[in-house]
Amino acid sequence: MEKSKQFAGLLLSLIFIYVMLYITFEEIKIFWYLYTFTLLVGIAVAIIYGKFKDEVPTWQYLLFGIGYGTILYGIVRLGDFLITKLNGTTEKTITSFLETYGPNNIWHYLLLIFIIVIGEELFWRGYVQQYLKKWVSPKAAVLITSILFALSVAISGFWLGVLMAFIAGLVWGFLYEWKKSLPLIIVSHVVFILLLFMILPIR
């Protein structure tokens, strides 16, 4: 009975996230407000029902976080180079998406770093992935969570973002299972975002 309630809670939370993201991507003018609200709810759900691990010292999660965030950025950068070389129209698609939904002022970056990134990791890796491990193996949980994470981006219709989210989900998911440190994953995500949008932006 208890497992049924927990599964129902997971299902309802996923439905809420997907519905809100659908509304969010439709309402471009208030995109950042709705996206932040959605992730704040995700944080609340994760804090109440999730289990977070932090089993490595601070220096190690900072070192691994910076390293893996940089590696993931390198993978995305290489993928962008190869895809745009193979298909010239892809560059216009990426540029159009970033102009519509990308951060363009200091408040967007602050929301990204202090709410959205943390919210995504708490909800997807700290809650969904850990709950799925009650039913499937850790590897399967990482794979399923990565697919669910990618689906949240698929709502936008940006297929390259879906691919990037899936790869990122795998990296962060397996890294979390390996190092068992949510702060490490958050640092990695923050570094990835900073490189992608501020330090060495692709567009």
In single-letter form, the type of residue at position 123 comes to F
Stretch 74-102: mean pLDDT? 85
Predicted local distance difference test score (pLDDT) of residue 147:
98
Q: Specify whether the CB–CB gap between 109 and 186 falls below 8 A.
A: no
Number of domains in the chain: 1
Could you give the angle at the alpha carbon of 23 between the alpha carbons of 187 and 38, nearest 5°?
A: 35
Predicted local distance difference test score (pLDDT) of residue 136:
94
Stretch 81-103: mean pLDDT? 83
Residue 22: in which H helix or E strand, if any? Answer: helix 2-26
pLDDT digits (tens, 9 = 90+) for 170-202: 999 999 999 999 999 999 999 999 999 998 887
Stretch 132-136: mean pLDDT? 92
Give the structural domain span for 39: 2-199
Res. 30: pLDDT tops 70: yes
